[in-house]
Amino acid sequence: KLEKIWLAIGISMLFVFLGILGVSAFAMGVKPPSEHHHRIDPAKVAETAPFDKLGLYKTGEKEYEAVMTAFTFGYAPDKMEVPVGATIKFVVTSQDVVHGFEIPGTNVNMMIVPGEISQVTHTFTKPGEYLILCNEYCGGAHEYMKTTIIVK
Ligand code: CUA
């Protein structure tokens, strides 16, 4: 009797698990894939919107959009400054090879792949100088590839 109950519980757990798996797979499937990775011709980055106008744009109260490119060996625009509490949506592509885009101490960490547009949003709640670092090996001066965001 007890074994049958445990077996029933086990089987129902399995179905619950499969159900969750199915639902999350479905949820991921219906998410528009264009949200994070639009295609772009790496050779025409400078002529392709939004990268024809690089920079930091104010999109709301304490909301910004940083349109940036990564290249061997740096980022454009090079330095940005925002007020404390600013939320920045980074929209980044690569002009040449695969680069990284990491802000240590935050959850910002993405791969910048030529031909793709990568996006991440972060709110800077504390003042300071935040480094953006490349964490994908991209050549001789890889370890010097960085830029700064000043939050004050
Ligand atoms: Cu760019 Cu390493």
Rounded to the nearest whole angstrom, what is the distance from the C-alpha of residue 131 to the centroid of ligand 1?
14
Atom 1 of ligand 1, nearest CA residue: 99
Q: How many CB atoms lie within 10 A of CB 139?
A: 12
pLDDT surpassing 70 at residue 34:
no
Q: Which of 51, 71, 101, 124 is catalytic?
A: 71
CA dihedral sign of residues 150, 64, 111, 142: negative
Q: Which residues line ligand 1 (CB under 6 A)?
A: 73, 99-100, 134, 136-138, 142, 145
Supply the ipTM of this predicted assembly: 0.99
Which regions of 7-85 does DSSP assign to beta strands (E)?
55-60, 63-71, 74-76, 79-82
Full-model pTM: 0.75
**pLDDT digit string, tens, across residues 41-63:** 888 999 999 999 999 999 999 99
Q: Reply yes or no on whether 73 is catalytic.
A: yes
One domain for residues 82 and 142: yes
Phi and psi angles of residue 27, each rounded to the nearest 5 degrees, phi first: -60, -40
Domain that holds residue 67: 42-151
Domain with residue 134: its CATH number is 2.60.40.420
pLDDT surpassing 50 at residue 112:
yes
pLDDT surpassing 60 at residue 11:
yes
Looking at residue 28, its pLDDT comes to 61
Q: Reply yes or no on whether 90 is catalytic.
A: no
Q: Which of 15, 17, 73, 90 is catalytic?
A: 73
Q: Is 134 within the bounds of a domain? A: yes
* DSSP three-state, residue 33: helix
